[in-house]
Protein backbone atom coordinates (compact mmCIF):
# COMPACT_ATOMS: atom_id res chain seq x y z
CA UNK A 1 0.00 0.00 0.00
CA UNK A 2 1.29 3.41 -0.92
CA UNK A 3 0.42 6.27 1.37
CA UNK A 4 1.24 9.79 0.34
CA UNK A 5 -0.14 13.01 -1.02
CA UNK A 6 -3.38 12.33 -2.88
CA UNK A 7 -3.25 8.58 -2.17
CA UNK A 8 -6.21 7.10 -0.34
CA UNK A 9 -5.44 4.75 2.54
CA UNK A 10 -6.62 1.20 1.81
CA UNK A 11 -5.75 -0.36 5.16
CA UNK A 12 -4.93 0.63 8.73
CA UNK A 13 -2.60 -0.71 11.38
CA UNK A 14 -4.09 -1.15 14.84
CA UNK A 15 -1.39 -0.30 17.38
CA UNK A 16 -3.34 -2.10 20.09
CA UNK A 17 -2.78 -1.85 23.83
CA UNK A 18 0.91 -2.66 24.06
CA UNK A 19 3.88 -3.71 21.92
CA UNK A 20 5.46 -5.70 24.77
CA UNK A 21 5.13 -9.46 24.07
CA UNK A 22 4.62 -10.38 27.73
CA UNK A 23 1.82 -7.84 28.13
CA UNK A 24 0.21 -8.97 24.87
CA UNK A 25 0.03 -12.54 26.17
CA UNK A 26 -1.41 -11.33 29.47
CA UNK A 27 -4.02 -9.20 27.68
CA UNK A 28 -4.89 -12.15 25.42
CA UNK A 29 -5.51 -14.51 28.35
CA UNK A 30 -7.53 -11.93 30.31
CA UNK A 31 -9.63 -10.79 27.34
CA UNK A 32 -10.27 -14.37 26.20
CA UNK A 33 -11.46 -15.34 29.69
CA UNK A 34 -13.71 -12.28 29.96
CA UNK A 35 -15.13 -12.84 26.48
CA UNK A 36 -15.94 -16.49 27.17
CA UNK A 37 -17.65 -15.49 30.43
CA UNK A 38 -19.59 -12.83 28.54
CA UNK A 39 -20.79 -15.35 25.96
CA UNK A 40 -21.76 -17.93 28.58
CA UNK A 41 -23.42 -15.40 30.89
CA UNK A 42 -25.55 -13.73 28.23
CA UNK A 43 -26.50 -17.03 26.57
CA UNK A 44 -27.52 -18.40 29.97
CA UNK A 45 -29.83 -15.43 30.58
CA UNK A 46 -31.40 -15.72 27.13
CA UNK A 47 -31.97 -19.48 27.49
CA UNK A 48 -33.33 -19.17 31.03
CA UNK A 49 -35.86 -16.49 30.07
CA UNK A 50 -36.86 -18.35 26.91
CA UNK A 51 -37.59 -21.71 28.58
CA UNK A 52 -39.23 -20.45 31.78
CA UNK A 53 -42.86 -19.30 31.23
CA UNK A 54 -42.77 -17.35 34.52
CA UNK A 55 -40.31 -14.92 32.93
CA UNK A 56 -42.38 -14.22 29.81
CA UNK A 57 -43.08 -10.60 30.73
CA UNK A 58 -42.07 -7.29 29.10
CA UNK A 59 -39.20 -6.66 31.49
CA UNK A 60 -37.57 -10.01 30.73
CA UNK A 61 -38.30 -9.69 27.04
CA UNK A 62 -36.27 -6.47 27.09
CA UNK A 63 -33.58 -8.17 29.18
CA UNK A 64 -33.29 -10.95 26.57
CA UNK A 65 -32.73 -8.35 23.87
CA UNK A 66 -30.13 -6.59 26.00
CA UNK A 67 -28.22 -9.84 26.57
CA UNK A 68 -28.24 -10.49 22.82
CA UNK A 69 -26.99 -6.95 22.17
CA UNK A 70 -24.22 -7.32 24.77
CA UNK A 71 -23.14 -10.55 23.12
CA UNK A 72 -23.05 -8.95 19.67
CA UNK A 73 -21.46 -5.75 20.97
CA UNK A 74 -18.47 -7.52 22.51
CA UNK A 75 -18.11 -9.81 19.48
CA UNK A 76 -17.59 -6.79 17.21
CA UNK A 77 -14.26 -5.89 18.85
CA UNK A 78 -12.94 -8.72 21.04
CA UNK A 79 -12.22 -11.50 18.48
CA UNK A 80 -10.26 -9.10 16.24
CA UNK A 81 -8.40 -7.80 19.32
CA UNK A 82 -7.52 -11.34 20.41
CA UNK A 83 -6.25 -12.15 16.93
CA UNK A 84 -4.10 -9.02 16.88
CA UNK A 85 -2.60 -9.88 20.26
CA UNK A 86 -1.27 -13.27 19.11
CA UNK A 87 -0.50 -12.40 15.50
CA UNK A 88 2.16 -10.33 13.81
CA UNK A 89 -0.47 -8.99 11.42
CA UNK A 90 -2.05 -5.90 13.01
CA UNK A 91 -3.65 -4.55 9.85
CA UNK A 92 -7.31 -4.13 9.00
CA UNK A 93 -8.63 -3.12 5.61
CA UNK A 94 -10.38 0.22 5.17
CA UNK A 95 -13.73 -1.42 4.44
CA UNK A 96 -13.43 -3.84 7.38
CA UNK A 97 -12.56 -0.91 9.62
CA UNK A 98 -15.67 1.01 8.58
CA UNK A 99 -17.74 -2.16 8.98
CA UNK A 100 -16.42 -2.64 12.52
CA UNK A 101 -17.27 0.97 13.33
CA UNK A 102 -20.75 0.52 11.86
CA UNK A 103 -21.61 -2.59 13.89
CA UNK A 104 -20.05 -1.13 17.05
CA UNK A 105 -22.38 1.87 16.85
CA UNK A 106 -25.29 -0.24 15.61
CA UNK A 107 -25.32 -2.54 18.64
CA UNK A 108 -24.20 0.20 21.03
CA UNK A 109 -26.79 2.69 19.80
CA UNK A 110 -29.54 0.07 19.89
CA UNK A 111 -28.63 -0.80 23.48
CA UNK A 112 -28.69 2.88 24.38
CA UNK A 113 -32.28 3.14 23.11
CA UNK A 114 -33.20 -0.18 24.72
CA UNK A 115 -31.99 0.93 28.15
CA UNK A 116 -34.11 4.05 27.74
CA UNK A 117 -37.08 1.88 26.80
CA UNK A 118 -36.51 -0.28 29.88
CA UNK A 119 -36.71 2.85 32.04
CA UNK A 120 -40.08 3.67 30.49
CA UNK A 121 -41.19 0.09 31.16
CA UNK A 122 -40.32 0.47 34.86
CA UNK A 123 -42.13 3.82 34.90
CA UNK A 124 -45.35 2.24 33.62
CA UNK A 125 -45.00 -0.76 35.97
CA UNK A 126 -44.56 1.40 39.09
CA UNK A 127 -46.59 4.50 38.27
CA UNK A 128 -49.49 2.82 36.47
CA UNK A 129 -49.52 -0.82 37.64
CA UNK A 130 -53.23 -1.46 37.02
CA UNK A 131 -52.89 -0.68 33.32
CA UNK A 132 -49.38 -2.11 32.89
CA UNK A 133 -50.41 -5.29 31.03
CA UNK A 134 -52.70 -3.30 28.75
CA UNK A 135 -50.12 -0.62 27.95
CA UNK A 136 -47.12 -2.94 27.60
CA UNK A 137 -48.85 -5.73 25.71
CA UNK A 138 -46.98 -8.20 23.51
CA UNK A 139 -47.47 -6.30 20.25
CA UNK A 140 -46.42 -2.98 21.78
CA UNK A 141 -43.27 -4.58 23.22
CA UNK A 142 -42.30 -6.00 19.82
CA UNK A 143 -42.91 -2.65 18.15
CA UNK A 144 -40.90 -0.75 20.76
CA UNK A 145 -37.95 -3.14 20.53
CA UNK A 146 -38.08 -3.02 16.72
CA UNK A 147 -37.98 0.78 16.90
CA UNK A 148 -34.78 0.63 19.01
CA UNK A 149 -33.12 -1.52 16.34
CA UNK A 150 -34.22 0.86 13.58
CA UNK A 151 -32.98 3.88 15.56
CA UNK A 152 -29.67 2.13 16.24
CA UNK A 153 -29.27 1.38 12.53
CA UNK A 154 -29.95 5.00 11.54
CA UNK A 155 -27.41 6.21 14.10
CA UNK A 156 -24.68 3.76 13.04
CA UNK A 157 -25.32 4.28 9.33
CA UNK A 158 -24.93 8.03 9.83
CA UNK A 159 -21.70 7.63 11.82
CA UNK A 160 -20.23 5.18 9.30
CA UNK A 161 -21.14 7.36 6.29
CA UNK A 162 -19.68 10.49 7.88
CA UNK A 163 -16.48 8.67 8.84
CA UNK A 164 -16.24 7.17 5.35
CA UNK A 165 -16.17 10.70 3.93
CA UNK A 166 -13.06 11.63 5.91
CA UNK A 167 -9.95 12.22 3.75
CA UNK A 168 -7.37 9.54 4.66
CA UNK A 169 -4.04 9.86 2.86
CA UNK A 170 -1.62 8.94 5.64
CA UNK A 171 -0.54 8.12 8.28
CA UNK A 172 -2.53 4.92 8.67
CA UNK A 173 -1.68 3.80 12.23
CA UNK A 174 -4.71 3.78 14.56
CA UNK A 175 -3.68 4.35 18.16
CA UNK A 176 -6.35 2.00 19.45
CA UNK A 177 -7.30 -1.69 19.51
CA UNK A 178 -10.39 -1.28 17.31
CA UNK A 179 -11.79 1.13 14.73
CA UNK A 180 -13.88 3.97 16.10
CA UNK A 181 -14.81 7.52 15.19
CA UNK A 182 -12.25 9.51 17.17
CA UNK A 183 -9.17 7.30 16.52
CA UNK A 184 -9.96 7.52 12.81
CA UNK A 185 -10.79 11.22 12.81
CA UNK A 186 -7.36 12.20 14.11
CA UNK A 187 -5.82 10.52 11.03
CA UNK A 188 -7.70 12.72 8.56
CA UNK A 189 -5.29 14.70 6.39
CA UNK A 190 -7.37 17.88 6.02
CA UNK A 191 -9.84 19.98 7.97
CA UNK A 192 -12.82 17.92 9.16
CA UNK A 193 -14.63 20.56 11.23
CA UNK A 194 -18.00 20.19 9.49
CA UNK A 195 -17.97 16.37 9.44
CA UNK A 196 -16.70 16.22 13.02
CA UNK A 197 -19.45 18.59 14.14
CA UNK A 198 -22.06 16.39 12.45
CA UNK A 199 -20.63 13.26 14.11
CA UNK A 200 -20.70 14.85 17.56
CA UNK A 201 -24.18 16.28 16.92
CA UNK A 202 -25.45 12.82 15.98
CA UNK A 203 -24.14 11.28 19.19
CA UNK A 204 -25.22 14.33 21.20
CA UNK A 205 -28.79 14.22 19.93
CA UNK A 206 -29.10 10.55 20.86
CA UNK A 207 -27.51 11.08 24.27
CA UNK A 208 -29.73 14.09 25.02
CA UNK A 209 -32.91 12.28 23.94
CA UNK A 210 -32.11 9.19 25.98
CA UNK A 211 -31.06 11.28 28.98
CA UNK A 212 -34.31 13.29 28.98
CA UNK A 213 -36.48 10.16 28.74
CA UNK A 214 -34.46 8.48 31.50
CA UNK A 215 -34.64 11.58 33.68
CA UNK A 216 -38.40 12.04 33.26
CA UNK A 217 -39.03 8.33 33.81
CA UNK A 218 -37.08 8.21 37.04
CA UNK A 219 -38.53 11.47 38.32
CA UNK A 220 -41.94 9.85 37.96
CA UNK A 221 -40.72 6.57 39.46
CA UNK A 222 -39.08 8.16 42.51
CA UNK A 223 -42.02 10.46 43.22
CA UNK A 224 -44.38 7.47 43.07
CA UNK A 225 -42.15 5.29 45.27
CA UNK A 226 -41.92 8.01 47.93
CA UNK A 227 -45.72 7.99 48.17
CA UNK A 228 -45.78 4.29 49.06
CA UNK A 229 -46.57 4.03 52.76
CA UNK A 230 -45.03 0.66 53.62
CA UNK A 231 -41.26 0.42 53.94
CA UNK A 232 -41.34 -3.05 52.35
CA UNK A 233 -43.24 -1.70 49.35
CA UNK A 234 -40.73 1.10 48.85
CA UNK A 235 -37.82 -1.32 49.19
CA UNK A 236 -39.28 -3.70 46.62
CA UNK A 237 -40.00 -0.88 44.18
CA UNK A 238 -36.49 0.57 44.51
CA UNK A 239 -35.02 -2.91 44.08
CA UNK A 240 -36.70 -3.35 40.69
CA UNK A 241 -34.99 -0.16 39.44
CA UNK A 242 -31.59 -0.49 41.10
CA UNK A 243 -30.19 -3.01 38.60
CA UNK A 244 -31.30 -0.90 35.65
CA UNK A 245 -29.78 2.25 37.14
CA UNK A 246 -26.45 0.47 37.68
CA UNK A 247 -26.38 -0.77 34.07
CA UNK A 248 -27.35 2.68 32.74
CA UNK A 249 -24.51 4.29 34.72
CA UNK A 250 -21.95 1.72 33.55
CA UNK A 251 -23.02 2.11 29.92
CA UNK A 252 -23.70 5.83 29.55
CA UNK A 253 -20.82 7.12 31.69
CA UNK A 254 -17.92 5.94 29.49
CA UNK A 255 -19.84 6.59 26.26
CA UNK A 256 -20.50 10.22 27.18
CA UNK A 257 -16.79 10.74 27.90
CA UNK A 258 -15.68 9.08 24.64
CA UNK A 259 -18.19 10.40 22.11
CA UNK A 260 -19.41 13.81 23.29
CA UNK A 261 -16.14 15.64 22.65
CA UNK A 262 -13.97 16.67 19.70
CA UNK A 263 -11.53 14.22 18.10
CA UNK A 264 -8.80 14.53 20.71
CA UNK A 265 -7.13 11.40 22.05
CA UNK A 266 -6.46 10.95 25.76
CA UNK A 267 -4.28 8.36 27.46
CA UNK A 268 -7.33 7.07 29.34
CA UNK A 269 -9.32 6.36 26.16
CA UNK A 270 -8.08 2.81 25.73
CA UNK A 271 -8.78 1.83 29.32
CA UNK A 272 -12.26 3.35 29.19
CA UNK A 273 -12.87 1.58 25.88
CA UNK A 274 -11.90 -1.74 27.51
CA UNK A 275 -14.50 -1.03 30.17
CA UNK A 276 -17.47 -0.41 27.89
CA UNK A 277 -16.61 -2.92 25.14
CA UNK A 278 -15.40 -5.85 27.27
CA UNK A 279 -16.33 -5.40 30.93
CA UNK A 280 -19.81 -3.86 30.63
CA UNK A 281 -21.26 -6.68 28.46
CA UNK A 282 -19.99 -9.10 31.13
CA UNK A 283 -21.20 -7.09 34.12
CA UNK A 284 -24.74 -6.55 32.79
CA UNK A 285 -25.87 -10.19 33.14
CA UNK A 286 -24.07 -10.44 36.49
CA UNK A 287 -25.88 -7.37 37.83
CA UNK A 288 -29.30 -8.53 36.67
CA UNK A 289 -28.72 -12.10 37.87
CA UNK A 290 -27.31 -11.37 41.31
CA UNK A 291 -29.95 -8.74 42.12
CA UNK A 292 -32.94 -10.55 40.66
CA UNK A 293 -34.47 -13.39 42.68
CA UNK A 294 -36.78 -14.45 39.85
CA UNK A 295 -33.89 -14.97 37.43
CA UNK A 296 -31.80 -16.83 40.02
CA UNK A 297 -34.76 -19.07 40.89
CA UNK A 298 -35.41 -19.74 37.20
CA UNK A 299 -31.76 -20.69 36.69
CA UNK A 300 -31.97 -23.13 39.60
CA UNK A 301 -35.09 -24.67 38.05
CA UNK A 302 -33.28 -24.92 34.71
CA UNK A 303 -30.30 -26.60 36.36
CA UNK A 304 -32.54 -29.01 38.27
CA UNK A 305 -34.41 -29.88 35.10
CA UNK A 306 -31.11 -30.59 33.33
CA UNK A 307 -29.86 -32.81 36.16
CA UNK A 308 -33.20 -34.62 36.37
CA UNK A 309 -33.26 -35.26 32.60
CA UNK A 310 -29.70 -36.63 32.73
CA UNK A 311 -30.64 -38.95 35.56
What pLDDT was estimated at residue 94? 93
Task: Label each residue of 122-180 as H, E or C.
Answer: HHHHHHCHHHHHHHCCHHHHHHHHHHHHHHHHHHHHHHHHHHHCCCCCCCCEECCCCCC
Is residue 13 classed as helix, strand or coil in its secondary structure? strand
What pLDDT was estimated at residue 58? 92
Q: pLDDT below 70 — which residues of the chain?
A: 1-7, 263-266, 290-291, 305-311
CATH of domain 16-310: 1.20.1070.10
What pLDDT was estimated at residue 25? 92
What pLDDT was estimated at residue 221? 87
Residues written for the chain: 311
What is the distance between the terminal CA atoms of the chain, rounded to a whole angstrom?
61
Residue 11: beta bridge partners? 93
What pLDDT was estimated at residue 209? 84
Q: How far are the Cα atoms of 18, 30, 62, 288 from residue 237, in angstroms, in the given order?
A: 46, 37, 18, 15
What pLDDT was estimated at residue 306? 55
For residue 14, the surrounding DSSP H or E stretch is strand 11-14
Q: What is the dihedral of CA 289, 32, 62, 151, to 10 degrees?
A: 150
For 21-68, the pLDDT digits (tens) are: 888 999 999 999 999 999 999 999 999 989 888 888 898 999 999 999
Whole-prediction pTM value? 0.89
| Cα–Cα distance for residue pair 93/85, rounded to 1 Å | 17
Give percent of the chain above pLDDT 70: 94
What pLDDT was estimated at residue 291? 66
Amino acid sequence: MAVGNGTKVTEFTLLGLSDTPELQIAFFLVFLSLYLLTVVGNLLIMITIQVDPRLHSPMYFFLTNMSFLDLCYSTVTVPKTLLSLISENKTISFNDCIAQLFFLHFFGGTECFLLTLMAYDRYVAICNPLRYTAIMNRMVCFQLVASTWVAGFVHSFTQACLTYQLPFCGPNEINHFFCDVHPLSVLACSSIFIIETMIIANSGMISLTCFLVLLLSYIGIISTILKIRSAEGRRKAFSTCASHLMVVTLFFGPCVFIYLRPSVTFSADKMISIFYTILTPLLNPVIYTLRNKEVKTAMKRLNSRKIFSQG
